[in-house]
Structure 1
Amino acid sequence: MCCLVFILLPFVGFTQTAILQGVILDELKQPIEDVNIKSGNLGTTSNENGFYSLRIPANEELTVIFSHINHKNITATFNLKNGEIFEFNPVMSLEVEQIATVIVRGNQRKRVEGITTIDPEIVRTIKGAQPGVENLLKTLPGVSISNELSTQYSVRGGNFDENLVYVNEIEVYRPFLIRSGQQEGLSFVNTDLVRNVDFSAGGFQAKYGDKLSSVLDITYRTPIKFGVRADLNLLGGSLSAETVSKDSKFSGILGLRYRDNTLLVDARQTKTNYDPTFADAQAFLTYKFTDRFHLSFLGNASINTYEYEPQTRQTNFGTIDNPLALLVFYDGQEKDAYQTLFGAL
């Protein structure tokens, strides 16, 4: 009998597992308590906040059933890698069909008090003078951007510095801007590293602080395998790489960006020798000591240089019969540069 126990113990120690977790909501975006989550002989229930966590075998295709006495069942299939923590947030609908009015009222409440989730793939495809999540925020109700060369935005009439920005629960402070729009570097958020984008224009939780206007909550992804992504265009390019160790304890993702807006400013009415260049590097590293204790590091280093030498500006006005033009000649130049370093555990 002792020999049998000695043989079985090593196999138990090397069991590969993954974690499926999330928050279960109803159609009004309210958490549902006591939802049964079951996969074979494994199971758990959601707490009063709708949160659940289920440890399942890794590298196996498993069917998980979410059931509740007042809601329709949800069935989903998962195949997770060893050590992966996958977030799945199902929305359960009521069995009763007479709830059309309630659904409409819930959607209106979400626009005022809720959080808007933006697909990271959509953010990566948005192009512009300052591509990124800020370029997409201006399409949301209550958000406005007055300068396409700037990443500043105002919400519901507030000032641009009344908006909170978090990356992996770390508050990001905007660096000193010499001149908004013309001498403003890249947005802090590297879209190649993003997993989730949540935006709230009001009614956000107290944990985000005391800013008045909005919260932009960014989550960088935790890699589960090796990968490389590159993007190249006439205004610059970006490169990102991610990797994970064999034991799935250490993971890291790195992003490099370079931007040159010279081609954009060449089309302005003011003819200049304006040469703005921006470059930055970001890294998000995570070491998992246990399933409940992780140590993460977020770092950023950016270099911004500007050479501004105005030459002439021509403004056309008047009528077709009497066209007029105002030609202004400038003298002097301006050279600026600043570097920012950011790190947090």
Structure 2
Amino acid sequence: MPHPRRHRLAALLLALCLPALVWALLPLGASGQSQDELQQTIDGSKAREGRLADAAARLGRLEQAAARGVAKLQARQAEVQAELDRSQARLTVTETELARQRARLNRLRERLRDDREQLAGMLRAAYVTAPPDVVTVVMEAEGFEDLLTRVEFARRVQKAGASVVEAVRNGRNDAKRQRGRLTKTAARQREVTATVRRQRDAVAQMAAAVQARQAALAQARAARLQALRATRGSRLKAQKTLKKLLDAQAKAAVDKRGPGGPWAIPWAIVQCESGGQNLPPNKGAQASGYYQFIPSTWKGMGGSTPHAYQASKAEQDRLAARLWNNGAGASNWDCAAIVGII
């Protein structure tokens, strides 16, 4: 029973040594760590988790920024590729037209050569053949109208030959001009196409570099997350071990089983108060018995004897249980605080 001063040396030593004894009897974690070591491990793991989580978040933001950069560069690459396709299509059309004009120029050159040869043959024939005199033309004509027709026909034949040659020559010159214009246009379009192609390749290289950075950031973030999971797993394991340790300690502190029991109050308090012995009154407050009742409390609880130690253990158990009141009366024993129950 509680009392203001306790002079019994044995009880005092027992009270001081009890927490160490209780702790020594508790099971340690699988790693053999103490409570302080487990708490340090948990605190260190929490700090490391915080750092890893911050690093993973930062890397995640960088990865997202890189992804946005890749998307923009890919969009730009698609635009440049579309422009390159259009430029290549225009160049193909120009080169096709240039080839057609070259073929046309070659045909016109051949035709002009043939027409010149035919016209030259006509002129040579005209010079070789003796021209008919006026009398012959007049005599052979069937009339004046026929005479006019013959003269006009000869004039048209000569004019037509010259016109054909002139037309072919004009066509050839036009084909030359077209070829020259198309050649210049094709050269400009090739230059434009080459420029656009270089732009496309540059954007593609930039996109590839940003994609490589994004992949590196993702890999680094995955490594941080893996380390975070491992650290969290270690911390949870340490917390579980610590909880088991604390639960075992708490159970031992309130366990009513002990030598000479069962007891009405936790064995740890009984051990601290009397060592489980039915002690006679001490010289101070006259506390006695298994539960160290002082006479006034013993009498107030309805004890049948002047001192608790004079009663049976059953009576002491019954009155101690009533005073304990399922733990609500733990403060009635000084040792409850000493063993860590309150």
Normalised by the length of structure 1, the TM-score is 0.14
From the CA coordinates, give the structure whose radius of gyration is larger. Answer: 2
Higher helix proportion (structure 1 or 2): 2
Higher strand proportion (structure 1 or 2): 1
Normalised by the length of structure 2, the TM-score is 0.14
